Amino acid sequence: MSKSTPKICSESFLQGAFDVLAIDEQMQHLIRSPHREISFEIPITLGDGSLRVFSGYRIQHDHSRGPFKGGLRYHPDVNREHFEGLAQLMTWKTALVDIPFGGAKGGINCDPRQLSDRELELLTKKLTQRLECVIGPDVDILAPDVGTNPKTMAWIYDAYSLVHGLEPAVVTAKPIQLGGSQGRTAATGRGVALVTSWAADMEGIELEGATVAIQGFGNVGRFAAKFLSDYGATIVAVSDSKGGLYNEDGLNTASLFEAAEKTDRRTSLYDLKVDGQKLDNEALLSLDVDILIPAAMENAITDENAKDVNARMIVEAANVPITCKATNILADSGIPVIPDILANAGGVIVSYLEWVQNRQRYRWDEERVNHELEATLRRAWDAVLERKQKESNTYREAAYLIAVERVKEAIEMRGF
């Protein structure tokens, strides 16, 4: 993480839950502290013969409710502190949706767009060699995140199996041919769309014809756009790291989705032949729309641009896309925010379902997977809504109260 990148913001949300739940200082310290922190260096010889040394990390935050679970990120702006915040966030997410996992996060400070597939495979298999003694189906289960994908998981599966035998459950979101689950690729975006539909109904927004802007058009943003369009919403703007496209009458989401699916990770939205005028990411965030969905990186909405947000509702498809100060500004503006630990939990739910299938050595059809995803996410939504209405707080505050309470109870029941 570069020095200019804001710290992952969840501490104030966590402290708020501690205060309401009257958790004592020692328990607060225990809940915050990572169980294990791992850092290492990975040297590889690039295709041109030069030597590069990359830094890698894995933060295993909490396993009181089950094995550590969390993504593997390849991005130049990451470090140990960055992953500490994201690992903790995964703990609250798995607790909120009530699946038997804890939280972890890790990755390598590299830019995968600057590496060939062969170089990425070598880097990934060396990472697995560094971690194989502290990961596994009952210890720590990895999944894709920014800069990684099912192919990355296949490489980890292969490298891990050379030492431990065939263990498909060591990673999730694998290719279908290697034990991946039906519906996993679309799961996070599907979950975002489901939660958005329930929240829109609660906030008095008619989803049929509602205008939606989505910042980030990777896997999550693409599928969220697809499913929301299927629900009748009008996707007026989407963007990637290089900029976005806008059409006040609605983008052709089907064409955009199809074109994006056929391109590689180095292709920009600007290169896709879809009708729409260009706009930058800052302009997208300030569009006058019904629903704004930040689905890119952390800290997209800050205290500097929060006052320019004109959406009626925000749904956090990315992890921590809103800084703490911006959260307060949006609250003062009366803009409801559906928190990341609920909105984007579809991915980890189906990762859990994939893990279950791998342990059973049995594959479910996509209809069953999608049914289980929706049922699990709906229970979490109902729990948040009930807590919010009971205690007159925000969606985020209600979500954190539920998650922290469940982790605390698990720690106390297991003992010290």
- Residue 6 confidence (pLDDT): 47
Alpha carbons 388 and 392: distance in angstroms, whole number: 5
What CA–CA distance (Å, rounded) separates 385 from 136?
Answer: 35
What is the residue type of 18? F
The one-letter amino acid at 52: R
pLDDT (0 to 100) of residue 312: 98
Which bin fits 22, alpha (ψ -120 to 50), beta or left (φ > 0)? Answer: left
Q: Any binding-site annotation on 307?
A: no
Distance of CA 322 to the CA centre of its chain: 14
Q: Is 219 annotated as a binding residue?
A: yes
Q: What is the mean pLDDT of each run of 10 residues along the chain (416 residues)?
A: 50 91 96 96 96 97 98 92 93 98 97 96 97 97 94 98 96 97 96 98 97 94 96 95 89 83 64 76 94 93 95 96 93 96 98 98 97 98 97 94 98 93
Residue ranges and CATH numbers for the domains of the chain are 11-167 (3.40.50.10860), 185-334 (3.40.50.720)
351 assigned binding-site residue: yes
In 3D space, the residue among 210, 221, 211, 220 whose CA is nearest the CA of residue 244 turns out to be: 221
Torsion of CA 354, 355, 356, 358, to 10 degrees: 90
Residue with tokens 């169980």: 35
Cα dihedral 11, 17, 19, 21 sign: negative
Does 325 participate in catalysis according to the annotation?
Answer: no
The HSE-up count of residue 66 (CA atoms within 13 Å, CB side) is: 20
- Tell whether residue 45 is among the known ligand binding residues: no
Pairing of strands 313-315, 291-294: parallel
Q: CA 200, CA 315: separation in Å to the nearest integer? A: 10
Nearest Cα neighbor of 166 from 298, 359, 344, 301 is 359
- Is 226 assigned a ligand-binding role in the annotation? no
Helices (H) then strands (E): counts for the chain: 14, 12
- Per DSSP bridges, beta strands 36-45 and 51-62 are antiparallel
The structure tokens listed for 173 are 């979101």
Please pick, among 3, 7, 105, 325, the residue that the annotation labels catalytic: 105
**Tokens read off for 303:** 């205290």
Indicate the DSSP class of residue 122: H
194's torsion region: left (phi>0), alpha (psi -120 to 50) or beta? alpha
Q: Which residue has the tokens 């309401």?
A: 20
Q: Are 116 and 95 in contact (CB under 8 A)?
A: no
pLDDT value at residue 4: 41
